[in-house]
Amino acid sequence: MSTVSETALFTPTKIGAIPVANRIAMAPLTRSRADMDGNHTPLAIDYYRQRASAGLIIAEATNISRQGRGYALTPGIYTDAHVEAWRPVTRAVHEAGGSIVLQLWHVGRVSHSNLQADGAAPVAPSAIQAGGNVFTLNGNEPPTMPRALATEEIAGLVQDYRNAATKAKQAGFDGVEVHVANGYLLEQFLRDSTNHRTDQYGGSIENRARLPIEVVTAVAEIWGADRVGVRLSPMSTAIGDTPLDSTPQQTYGYLAEQLGRLGLAYLHAIEGQTRSENAVAAFDYKALHASFGGAYIANNGYDRQMAIDAVDSGHADMVSFGRHFIGNPDLVERLRRDAPLFQAPGEAYYGGGAKGYTDFATLDAA
């Protein structure tokens, strides 16, 4: 067991081209505090600044287009106003010595027509309805039945990612993470449970991985591959009741290998079921990491000792923490000192103002 001075967890490195002061990342966290147009309020500046001692902040899932939105009050990165709303956030994090990337998000079928322009149906690889609930203008409601995208529409979708990636650059981020996890659009294409297409974007693993690869390639053209990461969740069904792929190890392994060839900054894996307490065994994440070949960020249910072990054993280059960063803005320092962690009440996770968002004490203030 390594001590604080021996473990690599608190040491700096580079993830792709992005300098990180330690191996602790802040996982992307939906907090639903933007306005209805997807513009952050100044509260988000304080929120991210307070957490800038994370080696890398992966800012919350952010809509790449109006069509890509599935939850009210989530931020966007497709208008000039979005750029202006994000810019002071990135400036504040940089002034505090941190690094910050933005997660690019299209929800696909996990949406409701009352969040779409002109009440349109959400889009998906196939017209298969998602389960669960989405946070709409009228509170929680089941997702609307989606419409299957026409082959001719796919190039426009890639263009939406390109536009969002360009805007993220204008907003001063250090890079972007493409969200290919949690049952949203790109994972809907990847899994044979949600993709029943018969064109070049459906059928074989190669075909189902085509859109994620096209999107990541397009985004890497804008940023340079060494500033682009990808998030995967091979074994998660938590959001949208999304059934697993029939051969996850092969499907995600193929995608990871192809992404590795692009020379990306990192692969970020949710190990097990999203929001569960711990990783489950039924998937070989080391094989996934090996197929990718580059830096690996491990996530889901890690505690301090697990994070130390993951980094020191070579399992991961970084470990990301989600919920612990909500109530502990100085999580890095608390882990360094092995201090108690504050458990933020779940009521404050989504929506509201400063309460439960920017009002958590640091160790030194407490």
Binding site for ligand 8OZ (CB under 6 A): 30, 61, 71, 182, 239, 274
Q: Tell whether the torsion through CA atoms of 210, 212, 120 and 192 is positive or negative.
A: positive
Contacts of 199-204 with CB under 8 Å at 24 or more apart are 199/151, 200/151, 201/125, 201/151, 201/154, 202/125, 202/126
R_g (Cα) of the chain, nearest Å? 19
Strand partners of residue 231 = 179, 268
| Nearest to ligand 8OZ of 68, 125 (CB atom) | 68
Catalytic residue among 161, 184, 285, 357: 184
CA distances from 129 to 70, 124, 246 (A): 14, 9, 19
Sequence-distant (6+) residues with CB within 8 A of 298 are 269, 271, 285, 310, 315, 316, 318, 319, 320
* 146/194 Cα distance (integer angstroms): 11
Strand partners of residue 59 = 102
Minimum separation from the CB atom of position 106 to ligand 8OZ (A): 11
| Nearest to ligand 8OZ of 165, 239 (CB atom) | 239
The torsion of the CA quartet 272, 337, 173, 36, rounded to 10 degrees, works out to 70
| Nearest to ligand 8OZ of 47, 71 (CB atom) | 71
Residue labelled with tokens 């946070």: 135
- DSSP, collapsed to helix, strand or coil, labels residue 235 as coil
Point out the residue whose Cβ comes nearest to ligand 8OZ: 61
* 242/262 Cα distance (integer angstroms): 28
| Nearest to ligand 8OZ of 111, 274 (CB atom) | 274
Minimum separation from the CB atom of position 363 to ligand 8OZ (A): 27
| Nearest to ligand 8OZ of 71, 283 (CB atom) | 71
Q: How many CB atoms lie within 10 A of CB 212?
A: 21
* 77/93 Cα distance (integer angstroms): 18
| Nearest to ligand 8OZ of 267, 311 (CB atom) | 267
| Nearest to ligand 8OZ of 30, 320 (CB atom) | 30
* 361/338 Cα distance (integer angstroms): 16
Q: Is 302 a catalytic site residue? A: no
Residue 14 in tokens = 């580079």
Are 306 and 320 within 8 A, CB to CB? no
Which residues participate in catalysis according to the annotation? Answer: 184
